[in-house]
Every structure is written in structure tokens, then in C-alpha cells.
Amino acid sequence: MGPSPGPAGPPPATPDRAAVRGEHWWPVAVAIATAALLHVALPAAYRLDPVWVVPVVLMTLLAALIMGDPGRIDRRKTWLRVVTEALIAFLTAANLYAGVRLVADILTNDKVFADNATGLLATGGVTWATNVIAFALWYWDLDRGGAAARAHRPFANPAFVFPEMQPTAYAPAGWVPEFTDYLALAFWTATAVSPTDVSAIKRWAKLLMMVEAAASLIVATLVIARAINILQ
């Protein structure tokens, strides 16, 4: 008679089980609060009036999302997706307004920064950073149906393939991208103006990355060129 089997160990973690709880709200909340503060820091000519409207709208919508889905992000409700996309769209529109005004002023030799290269670079940097946050939020919300959908079906129909998703000893088998990963994707897209270690495999994702790279290139090129011209 063979030896009796020992106590059964816990079942191996599966990808679905590893991601079922969803991700935390705080990285998203910090990014949204940062974007609100960055908009307030813009010169009056480049921000929406009154000065409090952008932070109040963003933080109100964020509070509604957190109250509607407290704890980890895992509730799949239509109204939560609508509010999430309304928040991101509002942030994108506010920064688009600032970016268009900035580019128009540079191209028309406006006197706002005629002798202030530092102010010009700071304004361009704020617009660029807010753009990175806005696109990170779009990637985070649109990939695989959003964060709540990824909590339940983490590997369903991805738009982006991260290196951690490949067979590797450096990431757990149930690895799922979270907001910080999409923020890094947005940052490197804006900085390198090209895909880096993340592959977009959906056409809409490729187009969205192209839009971000083009916006980053236009703002950075014009702002730096104008600042050099002022300093000469």
C-alpha cells in the first residue's frame, strides 16, 4: 500500500482569478487631480474660465465614479462607463483648447511670451504633460472594455500587447495592465513619437497613438523653436 497523499495545496492561480478584484482607484485619481492642477497653473489666456471650472468638473465626476464603484474597480455598469468617458473627454477638450491657443499664438507671433522663453517652455510643458495624462486615460478606458471589464475578463480582445503578457519569468502568469502601465505607454509615445515596448494590435489603438505622437511633436517642436528664437 502506497503512502497516503498529503493535504491538497491551493489550486494554481489562473489569469482570470489573478485579476478578478480589479485595480485600485488611487493612481487614476492622482493623475486626474494632477491634470486639474496643471490646467489651473496655465496662464489665464490658455485655461477655461472661470479658473475653478476644470478642477470642479473633474473632481466631481471622479467622486461620482469612486462612489459608484468603491474599493477596487470591478463594477460593470453603463453609467460608470459614460461618466468615465465624459471625464476624459472634458479633460481632453480643456487641454486641446490650451494647446490650440498656444500653437496659434506661436504661429502668429503673439506677444504673450515675446520676451519670456521660460514662461513659454513652462506652458508648453504643462500642455504636453496634460496631454500624456489624457491619452493614458483613453488607453486605460478603451482597452478591453475598461478597467472593470478587465477585472472579470482580463485577456478578452486586447488592443495593446505589453511585454509582460508574453511568456516570461519576470511577470506573474495572471499579469494584467493597470493605469500606470497605460501612463507609461502614453509617456513613451509622446517622448519617442513611436511605439516602444508595447504593440498596438487594434486599428483604433494605432490611430490613437498616431494622434498623440503628432500632437506631442507639434507642441514640442513649435515651443522649443520659439523659445530658442526668443533667447537669440
Q: What is the pLDDT along the chain (232 residues), one digit of tens a residue?
A: 444 444 444 344 444 444 457 999 999 999 999 999 999 999 998 999 999 999 999 999 999 999 999 999 999 999 999 999 999 999 999 999 999 999 998 888 766 777 788 889 999 999 999 999 999 999 999 999 999 999 998 888 899 999 888 877 777 878 899 999 999 999 999 998 777 789 999 999 999 999 999 999 999 999 998 888 888 7
pLDDT at 10: 39
pLDDT at 20: 52
Q: State the virtual CA torsion across 118, 123, 126, 132 in degrees, nearest 10.
A: -110
CA–CA separation, 132 and 180 (whole Å): 12
pLDDT at 82: 97
pLDDT at 13: 42
Amino acid at 10: P
Check: CB of residue 99 under 8 Å from CB of residue 39: no
**Of residues 87, 97, 85, the one with CA closest to residue 126:** 97
Q: What is the DSSP annotation of 128-139?
A: HHHHHHHHHHHH
Neighbouring residues of 65: CB distance < 8 A, sequence distance ≥ 6: 25, 80, 83, 84, 87
CA–CA separation, 149 and 165 (whole Å): 17
Report the chain's terminal Cα–Cα distance, integer Å. Answer: 92
